Structure 1
Amino acid sequence: MDFLTTLFNEYRILVSALLTTLMLIVMITIWWDKVSFWWLNVYYSLPLVGKEKRLSKDYETPVKVYNKTWLNSEVSLCADFASHYEKVNKDEELFAKSQDYLGKVTENGRNNLHAIGWVLIAALVFVEAMGFSYVLSGFTIPGASESMQQQGAIGIAFIISVLLVGLTHFTGHELHGNSLIKKAKVWWKNAKNRDRNTPELAPNTRINLDKTFEDDAEPQYKQLINRIATNAEVKPRYLVTIITAVAIIVIAVLATYVRGQVLEREHIETVIIDTSSSMYQEQDPYAEAVPAILLQNKQETDAKSDEDIWDREKKGGWGTFIFLAFLFVLLQIFGILIGFKTGFAGKHSSDARKEIGPFKSEREFKAHYSRLKQQVARIAQKRLTNLQQKMNQRAETNCQDPKVLHVLEACGDRSFLTYMEELGAAETKFDQSTRRREHQTQIDNRALHASNAHPEAAVAPTPAELVAPVLDAVVVPETIVVETVVAPAVAAVETSAEAEARIRQELLAEIAKSKAEKVVETEEQMRERLRKELMQEMS
């Protein structure tokens, strides 16, 4: 403490500047999204060196963005603000997904440990570690001065507190994860006792926050296992728990032992000092000699008194050391309990909780992010409008190309929200293509597995499976009036259900025919199989 006081007194300005900088860095890190958006807006609006000023010089570079002509400067501006818009472009569907994910992993209601909780636990462990780190510093830094031993004690206490806080918190997380695994295994065994055809206890690694609804039809134990990290045997793990237990016991026992040795060393030093002082004590030459028997009685009495005092001191010291060791172990158990009650074992539970935030309902969630989206879009559109005006002013003076002038005159059709809508449409199209490709891969894998297992009777995918991704995009009107060409007996007015059945049959025939080359079976087998399936569909 003397070292810290001296350091602060001699370098007060330097220490104050350092602490202020650290606090500023922490605040910027916490509110980075708002700070970065504010700086982007300022950077664009600077009069001489701003990015808006620089982009306005490039008004002759058209680019194609999703089949629409834009200017390169406009695209650059919209792309800069699009990243901030995407961060707040959240709707009630994301809220529902997050709640669904936490509910299936049975972690709804849990939260991460708050920063204040981390500081409190670290402070408690540091204070406890300081109690025996000063004793340890006398042996780790032998012959050091009192000031050096204090500095060494602070360093040792810091190392011990960091290790113990981390170990106890991870131990709590491990025990919480083990409790979820045990819960899932109990549910699985109960289901297995009721039904012998119960699916195996294996996770589906494709489940994440966006695909949380894909396993709605699966049992509850499977939904839980899909969302936590497990080993191949789906059994609890205790590696971190064992390491933490060993560390706590070793530190508690060794610290108590060292404290006891220091107590006995101090007693021996006291006895040596007392003996030396009595040996060299000056005798009064004029005093009468004390009788030997009285001197012997006095020495025995003093020895017994010293022994009784030492016995009391030793018992009191060891009792205190044992109590401190018990308090140390109890504090680590408290840290483990905090780790058990806070944090998440689900692979995406922390992200889901972060998305839900402090909101209690979907309405609050949607209203909050709608306001943020409007704010970002309004500022981005203001910057885009200013850019378009500046480019028009430059083009009127310096440009004679009619194509460029025509593009600039049509700037009213190019807004920031239009850019975001086209971007969202492209992403939706890509997601649909990805889902169709994954669906087709699953069908091909099942067909390949069946053909490898039974080459003589390879089973082709059903037409319903082949056409499923396509039918998702088919929109059938309520009533369709068509000319009947299939059978004269059919009425000219076709209902929506009849139209859907007819379109389904036509698509089944076309897609099954296009997929026939991929199936390992003869043409006669394929024709017979398709005839039976289509007759079933018609019935």
Structure 2
Amino acid sequence: MDLFKILSTYRDILIVMALTLSILFYFSYTNWESLRLWWKNVKYNNFLFPKTRSLAKNPDMNGNWFHSENVVCRDYDEHYSKVHKDGDFYDACKEYLAIVGESGRRPLGAFMLLGLFGVLVLEAWGFSYTMSGFIDLSASENTRVIMTGIVAIAFAVILAFLTHLMGHEIYRNGIIKRIRNNWQTDKTPKKPSSLDAISKDPEIGDESDVDNPMYKRRLDRLDVSSPSVKHTFTTLAVLAIVIIGVIITFVRVKTLEVAQTQDTMCVAGDDGSSAGEVNLDDLYGSKPPPPPSAVAVSKAAREKGESEICKATKEGSWATFGMLAILFLVLQAFATWVSFKFGFVGKHSKVAWENTHKYKTKGQYETEMDSKARSIAQRAQKTLSNLQSRMAKKLSGETMNDRVDHLINTASERTFFDFLEEEHEQTLSNRNRRTKTTLSKDSEHSSLLSSQQVEVKAQLETVSPDAAPLSDEEMEAQLLKEAAEPELTDEEVERQLLEEMQKKKETPEEQRARLLAKLKAEGKL
């Protein structure tokens, strides 16, 4: 049994299998991270061949951790770090989409994918009917049907691929054109000298280029190799549409000619009988032959009717060809529009969209991310505890290394969150450094306010509320005396304030507040 006979015999089963696989592929694509996490959990904790069984045999150490413990924690940290986000990341994603100009866009959804699939089916169906009579004249009918379907699907897939790239290219060119127009009309001193290259790739939340013009920030975030308008895929798609359309129309015309050639009514000069021929049955029959004039009239009427039928068939076929051509162009336009309307051109726009489109507020986002992170952490801790239990059973008493025994006995002190704290120590130190800088600024500001308050208080204390009011002459003399006094420097004022503070006895509450502010400013708290 050859391949085409197998395909013909099990055609319905193969169609059902193809649809099932397509649905499974779409479900896997939309839930890929959840499936990866589920499979990782199965791989570590299945009851037949769990990965923790082989890891438990390894006594190698990495600092204060077993190497096997690090392997487990790092595998789960890959998923944990993707969802362990705070509300600031939500705001950063919103800002990123706004900078790129894709706040209202979204990727291809299920309905649009079904629409594109319908376009493929219609195109393949139309191509198969057109090419079925010419694909292989020597093959059987079933073989020709299968071969025609394969070729038609190939044509449809190629067209869908090219129209998708064309729509995306048109959308990208529109953004680049707007960026260049804004650059040309920019008259500020911050205007870049040129837009010939992408200078950097800012991540979500990166504010290092906040001083650049908005169009330059947008350009740096585009997923393009060079900031220039290109028409490569547009040209290829238009050429493919024209060539395939012309070929299909040509095949349809030849199909019409073959059909009319095989129709005896549409063959010129062939009317099914001839006036010059003599029927032998009429010579020996009792019925007299019709007169020549009647034969001529009948022949003329028959030719006129046959001519009108053939003409109507030809004109109707051409009208049908035109409608099919219009339908073909509309389908290509629909595929191009879908690719133009959906999808992203920013490098991280899809990630930003995935972290914002389901949540209306920052609070909803934080709640959802905390729930997902907690679920992953629980799975990681369960796997880590299982590994530590296996290692305690496997390695206890089998090694002569005191350090291994110590790590086994202190396994409860090493959790998944401890690993996260150590693994992300650099991130925490950077955060502490930023906090320290902020606290230092606040401390300086508080010190300045305190010195100003002390100065005002000292000025107020110089005037006793019980003292008698001064006359104009006395007040004038006092003001002249104060003006004649030399102005103190910052160091002298600071020294006077310190002397006053030393004279004044400090209470325990004031000492506690002073030391607490000092420790916060130094980043120790």
User: Which position in structure 2 is the counterpart of 1:255?
Assistant: 248
Farther off after superposition, 472-481 or 323-332? 472-481
CA distance, structure 1, for counterparts of residue 231 and residue 432 of structure 2: 42
Q: What CA RMSD, in Å, does the superposition of the two structures yield over aligned residues?
A: 4.0
> Is 1:373 the equivalent of 2:373?
yes
**Aligned partners of 1:98 and 1:209 also within 8 Å:** no
Task: Go from structure 1 to structure 2 and tell me whether the alpha carbon gap of 1:170 and 1:283 turns closer, same or farther (over 3 Å shift).
Answer: farther
CA distance, structure 1, for counterparts of residue 171 and residue 200 of structure 2: 23
Identity of aligned residues (%): 27
CA distance, structure 1, for counterparts of residue 335 and residue 18 of structure 2: 31
Equivalent residue pairs, number: 449
Runs of at least 5 residues in structure 1 that lack an aligned partner in the other structure = 434-468, 504-539
Over residues 76-117 of structure 1, what are the superposed CA-to-partner deviations in whole Å (9 max), with x where a residue is unaligned? 332333223223222223322222221111111111112442
CA distance, structure 1, for counterparts of residue 247 and residue 403 of structure 2: 84
Task: Go from structure 1 to structure 2 and tell me whether the alpha carbon gap of 1:261 and 1:222 turns closer, same or farther (over 3 Å shift).
Answer: same
CA distance, structure 2, for counterparts of residue 190 and residue 26 of structure 1: 45
Over residues 296-335 of structure 1, what are the superposed CA-to-partner deviations in whole Å (9 max), with x where a residue is unaligned? 2322222222112211111111011111111111121111
**Aligned partners of 2:282 and 2:289 also within 8 Å:** no
* Correspondence list, 1:341-420, <5 A: 341-392=341-392, 402-420=402-420
**Aligned partners of 2:135 and 2:148 also within 8 Å:** no
Task: Go from structure 1 to structure 2 and tell me whether the alpha carbon gap of 1:150 and 1:341 turns closer, same or farther (over 3 Å shift).
Answer: same
Task: Go from structure 1 to structure 2 and tell me whether the alpha carbon gap of 1:179 and 1:268 turns closer, same or farther (over 3 Å shift).
Answer: same
Q: Which has the larger radius of gyration?
A: 2
The one-letter amino acid of 1:296's match is A
TM-score computed with the length of structure 1 as normaliser: 0.71
User: Which position in structure 2 is the counterpart of 1:78?
Assistant: 73
> Is 1:302 the equivalent of 2:302?
yes
User: Which position in structure 2 is the counterpart of 1:268?
Assistant: 261
- SS of 2:235 mapped into structure 1: helix
CA distance, structure 1, for counterparts of residue 222 and residue 6 of structure 2: 48
> Is 1:478 the equivalent of 2:443?
yes
User: How many Å apart are 1:341 and its aligned residue?
Assistant: 0.6
**Aligned partners of 2:266 and 2:310 also within 8 Å:** no
Task: Go from structure 1 to structure 2 and tell me whether the alpha carbon gap of 1:276 and 1:311 turns closer, same or farther (over 3 Å shift).
Answer: closer
CA distance, structure 2, for counterparts of residue 176 and residue 262 of structure 1: 40
User: Which position in structure 2 is the counterpart of 1:63?
Assistant: 62
User: Which position in structure 1 is the counterpart of 2:463?
Assistant: none
> Is 1:184 the equivalent of 2:179?
yes
Task: Go from structure 1 to structure 2 and tell me whether the alpha carbon gap of 1:201 and 1:348 turns closer, same or farther (over 3 Å shift).
Answer: farther
> Is 1:162 the equivalent of 2:157?
yes
Task: Go from structure 1 to structure 2 and tell me whether the alpha carbon gap of 1:393 and 1:142 turns closer, same or farther (over 3 Å shift).
Answer: closer
CA distance, structure 2, for counterparts of residue 152 and residue 395 of structure 1: 64
- SS of 1:284 mapped into structure 2: helix
Over residues 470-489 of structure 1, what are the superposed CA-to-partner deviations in whole Å (9 max), with x where a residue is unaligned? x96994672699xxxx9973
User: How many Å apart are 1:391 and its aligned residue?
Assistant: 4.5
User: Which position in structure 1 is the counterpart of 2:212?
Assistant: 218
User: Which position in structure 2 is the counterpart of 1:6?
Assistant: 9
> Is 1:111 the equivalent of 2:106?
yes
The one-letter amino acid of 1:109's match is G
Task: Go from structure 1 to structure 2 and tell me whether the alpha carbon gap of 1:306 and 1:423 turns closer, same or farther (over 3 Å shift).
Answer: same
* Correspondence list, 1:425-504, <5 A: 425-426=425-426, 475=440, 478=443, 489=492, 491-492=494-495
User: Which position in structure 2 is the counterpart of 1:130?
Assistant: 125
Task: Go from structure 1 to structure 2 and tell me whether the alpha carbon gap of 1:474 and 1:271 turns closer, same or farther (over 3 Å shift).
Answer: same
The one-letter amino acid of 1:489's match is E
Farther off after superposition, 404-413 or 90-99? 404-413
Correspondent of 1:205 among 184, 199, 207: 199
The one-letter amino acid of 1:252's match is G
User: How many Å apart are 1:119 and its aligned residue?
Assistant: 3.1
Runs of at least 5 residues in structure 2 that lack an aligned partner in the other structure = 448-488, 502-513
User: Which position in structure 2 is the counterpart of 1:508?
Assistant: none
The one-letter amino acid of 1:238's match is H
Higher relative contact order (CA 8 A, sep 6+): 2
User: Which position in structure 2 is the counterpart of 1:284?
Assistant: 282
Task: Go from structure 1 to structure 2 and tell me whether the alpha carbon gap of 1:182 and 1:282 turns closer, same or farther (over 3 Å shift).
Answer: farther
CA distance, structure 2, for counterparts of residue 18 and residue 335 of structure 1: 22
- SS of 1:278 mapped into structure 2: coil
User: How many Å apart are 1:48 and its aligned residue?
Assistant: 7.2
CA distance, structure 1, for counterparts of residue 20 and residue 325 of structure 2: 38
**Aligned partners of 2:93 and 2:353 also within 8 Å:** yes
CA distance, structure 2, for counterparts of residue 359 and residue 187 of structure 1: 33
